[in-house]
Amino acid sequence: MTPSRRAVLAAMAGGALAGCAGPRSTVDRSASVTGSPSTSAAIATGTSTPGSSPSATAPTTPSASRAVTRADIVARYGHAVPHTWGFDAPAVVHALPTTGRVIALTFDACGGPGGSGYDRALIDFLRRRDIPATLFINSRWIDANPAIFRRLAAEPLFEIANHGTRHRPLSVTGRSAYGIPGTRSAAEVYDEISGNQTNLTRLLGTPPRFFRSGTAYCDDVAAQIVTALGERFVSFSVNGDGGATFTPEQVRTTVAAAPGGSIVICHMNHPRGGTARGITAAVPQLLATGHSFTRLSDALH
């Protein structure tokens, strides 16, 4: 990892995703996080052995004739030793594969202690301005908002992505982030991904393409499991609302400064926060400077 990349990740850690961590988290409200656009190399899904680093080769996906099972994942990754922890595991996507003036707005809906609210003002603004976005939705948020979810899922403007089943950091060793205990084994990683994957596939008719863990933290073995289950782990390059803790002005200045190719993370589950007003102010500024917006599926192939 280069010194500049390490500095970016350290800054990201300072802007805790408290919108996912729940009310007990603390966040530096002055922090705005922007990373350099890059796409990470994909990794093989079946080559890790104890103490070895994941190999950086093309990912494999589940066979059309046979789904990857929990037992498969345990057999393949149950003894694998992780070597990274944070936002920067191999195969994790942080930015769009372009430096053009295109930005992906992504909004997490965390559910449970992380918040099951619905920021109607935010979503209504995106609708009025015809701004596409990718919505990372947790299983518990769906349970709390079934009618709202059905409407969002029916709108081509929005794309639904997997934000996990219990909203846990994705670890094979139980590492935590922002006070939230992570998954403790390859089997629990499978459960965290596949529980909501199954739910979303049933509700949407097709499986989700993208996954983001609770807090966006993962280790490299867990990231491989995401790939093995047919999804791509998407992190972010711009922390747009500091975990739903930024003021409207902080959201505006942070998002409006996003460079082309950015993946911006914000939250749609904290209607009393500053996200809606900040996005409402930032998007017209970006449009005025020639930027456009995209769903992840329209930019990542």
∠ CA 207-212-143, nearest 5°, is: 65
Type of residue numbered 180? I
The pair of structure tokens assigned to 256 is 């409006």
- Above 50 in pLDDT, residue 51? no
Give the global pTM: 0.82
What is the per-residue pLDDT across 129-164, written as a single tens digit (0 to 9) for each? 999 999 999 999 999 999 999 999 999 999 999 999
Average pLDDT, the chain: 85
- Split at pLDDT 50, 70, 90, the class of 48 is very low
Residue with the larger pLDDT of the pair 48 and 170: 170
In DSSP terms, 293 is beta-bridged to: 103
Q: What is the pLDDT of residue 301?
A: 83
Alpha helical stretches, state H, the chain: 3-14, 18-21, 70-77, 120-129, 139-144, 146-153, 186-204, 220-228, 248-256, 275-288, 296-299
Q: What is the pLDDT of residue 20?
A: 62
DSSP-assigned letter for residue 269: S
Helices then strands (H, E): number in the chain? 11, 11
Distance, CA of 247 to CA of 193 (rounded, Å): 32
Cβ atoms of residues 226 and 197 within 8 Å: no
User: For residue 167, what are the contacts with CB-CB under 8 A and spacing of at least 6?
Assistant: 20, 110, 111, 112, 114, 138, 140, 180, 214
Distance, CA of 161 to CA of 157 (rounded, Å): 13
Question: Mean pLDDT throughout 98-105?
Answer: 95
User: For residue 183, what are the contacts with CB-CB under 8 A and spacing of at least 6?
Assistant: 168, 169, 170, 171, 172, 174, 189, 191, 192, 222
